[in-house]
Structure 1
Amino acid sequence: MRLEKVTPKNYEAALGLSVRPDQEDLVGPVVKSLAEAYVFPDIAWPRLIFDGDRLVGFLMAFLDYAWGDNPDDVRSGLWRLNIAADAQGKGYGRFAVEAVCAEIRARGGDRAYVTWVPREGGPEDFYLKLGFRPTGEQSDGETVAVLDL
């Protein structure tokens, strides 16, 4: 498994990635993430996830983001995670989270944040198994969680 930057040669394949239909309300589509990466280039870290030559997913981290109204509360974490419907359950999500955590550590960070939609069939169990713990905060109705690195 490896990460690659989104480039003119691979962005169309990235746009074709889709999660399972029952997950579409849980994560924005890749096209929205790429638009956000364009609008927020100072904090967005978009990457494609490959297994050999096969594109299996997309992730986008947020790095050094001033959270809320407190300019001293600077956070980094996983912003988006889209694993192709037919590639789920094979370790790609774990790989993606570990890659984001490694990037945060490399930049001197000691905590990774993530949010999720709190509903049946959502990703809560996945993130809890990886060690994330809810902070008690909400962001646009989503649960905020943190992992100490």
Structure 2
Amino acid sequence: MPSPRLEEITPDNVLAACAIAVRPDQEGLVAPVARSLAEAYAQPAVAWPRLIVDGDRPVGFLMGFLDIKWGQDPADVRSGLWRLNIAADQQGRGYGRFAVAALADELRRRGADRMFVTWAPGPHGPERFYGRLGFRLTGERSGDQVVGELAL
């Protein structure tokens, strides 16, 4: 039985990545994959975009951020989860959990000891999901989003 894996975004899979669509009630909470890829193209030094694939089927998209300066303190450099889009018909099957764990492994490999994520609070938001994975609120905000942190 195939297991999920992350694949680099290539000319062969970019359209499949762009076709990933979340549930309608989540559309205002996470940017479409095409926008994420445009941001990754504009910021290649910090963006780490990946397609989540199970067997030969794309099931989601993940984009990490690497070593960005955070806030006013130049010594505060962070890495973490920038975007997570799991296809509407694939949610609840463990792909999000897999993707976050795979990004955590990548960040550990790069020497990070913490992983950050931001999200818009609200009834359809991912706060419970991130909480179940061990993220804790930092008390900070990034624009209108709250900041969560996971010890690696």
The answer on 1:96 being equivalent to 2:93 is: no
Task: After TM superposition, list the pairs within 5 Å mapping 1:24-103 onto structure 2.
Answer: 24-103=27-106
Shift of 1:76: 0.4
Give the letter aligned to residue 34 of structure 1: L
State TM-score, norm by structure 2.
0.97
Q: Determine the C-alpha separation between the residues in 1 that align with 2:58 and 2:15.
A: 11
**Cα deviation per residue 1:96-124 (whole Å; 9 max; x = unaligned)?**
10011001000000000001110012100
Shift of 1:38: 0.6
- Residue 134 (structure 2) aligns with: 131
Shift of 1:57: 0.3
The answer on 1:148 being equivalent to 2:145 is: no
Give the letter aligned to residue 73 of structure 2: N
State, as a whole percentage, how many aligned pairs show the same letter.
Answer: 64
Aligned residues: 149
Structure 1: where are the runs of 5+ without partners?
none
Q: Determine the C-alpha separation between the residues in 1 that align with 2:102 and 2:80.
A: 11
State TM-score, norm by structure 1.
0.99
Shift of 1:69: 2.0
Structure 2: where are the runs of 5+ without partners?
none
Q: Determine the C-alpha separation between the residues in 2 that align with 1:71 and 1:63.
A: 15
Q: Determine the C-alpha separation between the residues in 2 that align with 1:82 and 1:65.
A: 21
SS at match of 1:147: strand
SS at match of 1:90: coil
CA RMSD of aligned residues (A): 0.6
**Cα deviation per residue 1:45-75 (whole Å; 9 max; x = unaligned)?**
0000000000000000001111122211000
- Residue 115 (structure 1) aligns with: 118
Q: Determine the C-alpha separation between the residues in 1 that align with 2:130 and 2:69.
A: 23
Give the letter aligned to residue 117 of structure 1: A
